[in-house]
Amino acid sequence: MAPTQDQTAFSTPSEPKGYRIFIIGAGVLGLSLLRHISSTAASGEVTAYDSNEKGAACDDSHKIVRTQYTSALRTEIAREADRRWTTDPILKPYYNRIGRIEITNDVDKLDAIDTHMPRRERLTLGSVKDRLNSSEPSYGERRCLQFIANILQKADNPDIQCIWNKDNAVIDWKPCMDDVRGSLEAQIREAKIEKLVVDGKGRISALQLPDKRMIKIDEADKVILTVGAWGENLLRESNISSPQKGFRAVGVFTFYLRLEKHHRDYLKDLPALSFQDKAINCEFLPPVSEQGLAKIGLTLPFRNKQNVPEDVGESDLMYFALLKALDWARKYYDGLGGAEIVYKGAHWDGVTEDQTPLISWHPEYGNLGLAWGASFTRAKDFPIIGRTIYEILFQGHQAGEYGWNSEPIGDKIQHNQPHLLTSDYFETLDKEAAKNKDVQELKRQGAPYYL
């Protein structure tokens, strides 16, 4: 259910008990914070402003929930979030524990995970074939083992490792978030905040809308900025300093496939797949609802010099990514021939140097809090991340690694997807893609695109 366009929301409502909280952004962090405050009656009036920015990382079809991390702390947080997914009455219908096959050449990561978790079996083509020949697996398990054997045989790479994470899950993300928004509809307003107005006394005094109207912020009110990849740009437009914690807007590519009945029959019982080697970093998430789409996510990350998201939907780099995704899916999913790509696009998020979110009050503006840099890596924490934000900003809990000027700490804590920390600029990658003859041929052919 979409947020309501309520013009009266832009005038100053009557003062409730305590202070009002204005959340700018209704993605992973903003929506989770709104939900936590609303469910605990933690303060007076709270309202979230959702600009529905195209390309936001939270605007996705599927999200993976996993609990295997190189950090014991991150693993503990992920386990709590996983438990909440399975017990929350609104969230649990969208949680699907279908498992995930993990193909990777990052042996150091697997070794680090094994230091604080029970060691997971690393499958080889030989061990999979032995299991198929010597045991009597169920039909579903046999299908998965055959699929794994097919991947390992086609990959033909002695350096890759294979793990079957049977406890991993996939969230039917879009309908889940629509349901959450529907439950909070009265507190969500559809509006873009173009500028934060400061009063010269170290506080935010108003929020400026595109038509120059103002939402007045009273003395005791709090403003929490949760707009992810758009955050630094909004601060810049407002002449407010950015966090010392390193931040960059990063885009990755996503493709959705429409499936026929025989495609769905082929995918039945198969887990999600994460695949990483020197040539490609890709994931395939099967549909988890009867009419849902399948998703191919290609992590070919890029940034731009403006450090703000832009539409790259018809760029040469987009078609280069589409070409790689098609080739990869055709190689490993031979039962999906003829499935149509019905969406191609980029999703953007704000990524910090150590991939932990920033959760902090701004040191120069006492009523401005920031919480961003999490949709790519923390969507799985949706059931609990709002509580964490509230505890740090409103209950005095130590920010620790979430702090304003915390130093990048790499693999020691939560640096779980280092490939997102790209230094590659979109402009450079796009120029290289433009030289590719196959890319130009794909563009010339035009849609529709099929596996």
Please give the Cα distance from 196 to 237 (Å, whole number).
8
Q: How confident is the model at residue 9 (pLDDT cuts 50, 70, 90)?
A: very low
Cis before residue 448, ω within 30 degrees of 0? yes
Residues 403 and 297 in one domain: no
Structure tokens at 402: 């979430």
Chain centroid to Cα 328, Å, comes to: 22
Residue 123 lies in a domain: no
Q: Which long-range contacts (CB under 8 A, 24 or more apart) does 200-206 make?
A: 202/364, 202/365, 202/366, 203/365, 203/366, 203/367, 203/368, 204/365, 204/367, 204/368
Q: How confident is the model at residue 350 (pLDDT cuts 50, 70, 90)?
A: confident
Domain that holds residue 276: 249-351+421-451
Q: In what order do the strands lie in the sheet with 281-285?
A: 161-165, 100-104, 272-276, 281-285, 294-302, 247-258, 340-352, 449-450
pLDDT at 205 over 80: yes
More confident position, 322 or 353: 322
Q: Of 161, 165, 167, nearest to 125 (Cα)?
A: 161
Residues 235 and 358 in one domain: yes
pLDDT at 237 over 60: yes
Q: How confident is the model at residue 248 (pLDDT cuts 50, 70, 90)?
A: confident
pLDDT for the residue numbered 418: 67
pLDDT at 407 over 80: no
Q: Where are the alpha helices (DSSP H) in 156-193?
A: 173-183
**What rounded mean pLDDT belongs to the chain?**
89
CB atoms within 10 A of CB 136: 7
Residues 267 and 405 in one domain: no
Over residues 273-280, the mean pLDDT reads: 92
Residues 288 and 362 in one domain: no
pLDDT for the residue numbered 138: 86
Residues 315 and 260 in one domain: yes
Length of the chain: 451
Residue 201 lies in a domain: yes
Over residues 77-106, the mean pLDDT reads: 97
Over residues 410-427, the mean pLDDT reads: 68
Query: For 78-109, b where at least 16 C-beta lie within 10 A, e where not — what string?
Result: beebbebbeebeebeebbbebbbbbbbbbeeb
CATH number of the structural domain spanning residue 319: 3.30.9
**pLDDT tens by residue, 126-159:** 999 999 998 787 888 999 999 999 999 999 888 8
Q: How confident is the model at residue 406 (pLDDT cuts 50, 70, 90)?
A: low
Residues 272 and 347 in one domain: yes
Give the rounded percent of residues in the chain with a pLDDT score beyond 70: 92
pLDDT at 13 over 60: no
Residues 388 and 428 in one domain: no
Residue 341 lies in a domain: yes
**pLDDT tens by residue, 429-451:** 999 999 999 999 999 999 999 99
Show the CA angle centred on residue 407, arms to residues 403 and 413, nearest 5°: 85
Residues 329 and 429 in one domain: yes
| Furthest CA-CA distance within the chain | 75
CB atoms within 10 A of CB 156: 8
CB 226 within 8 A of CB 371: yes
pLDDT at 309 over 90: no
Q: How many CA atoms lie within 13 A of 153 on its CB side?
A: 10
CATH number of the structural domain spanning residue 12: 3.50.50.60
pLDDT for the residue numbered 7: 33
Which SS3 state, helix, strand or coil, does residue 49 take? strand
Q: How confident is the model at residue 353 (pLDDT cuts 50, 70, 90)?
A: confident
Q: If residue 250 lies in a helix (H) or strand (E), which one and from where to where?
A: strand 247-258
pLDDT at 15 over 60: no
Residues 180 and 234 in one domain: yes
Residues 271 and 335 in one domain: yes
Residue 390 lies in a domain: yes
More confident position, 348 or 400: 348
pLDDT at 6 over 50: no
More confident position, 414 or 217: 217
pLDDT at 16 over 70: no
pLDDT at 410 over 60: no
Q: Of 284, 356, 296, 348, nearest to 322 (Cα)?
A: 296
pLDDT at 259 over 80: yes
Residues 433 and 307 in one domain: yes
Range with the lowest mean pLDDT among 21-30, 183-192, 350-359? 350-359
Residue 81 lies in a domain: no
Residue 19 lies in a domain: yes
Residues 51 and 200 in one domain: yes
pLDDT for the residue numbered 43: 58
Residue 149 lies in a domain: no
Over residues 245-263, the mean pLDDT reads: 90
pLDDT for the residue numbered 285: 98
pLDDT at 58 over 70: yes
Residue 67 lies in a domain: no
pLDDT for the residue numbered 374: 73
Range with the lowest mean pLDDT among 83-92, 320-329, 378-387, 419-428? 419-428
Structure tokens at 2: 């979409």
pLDDT for the residue numbered 416: 61
pLDDT at 360 over 70: yes
Number of domains in the chain: 2
Please give the Cα distance from 379 to 381 (Å, whole number).
5
Q: How many CA atoms lie within 13 A of 263 on its CB side?
A: 21
Please give the Cα distance from 402 to 90 (Å, whole number).
28
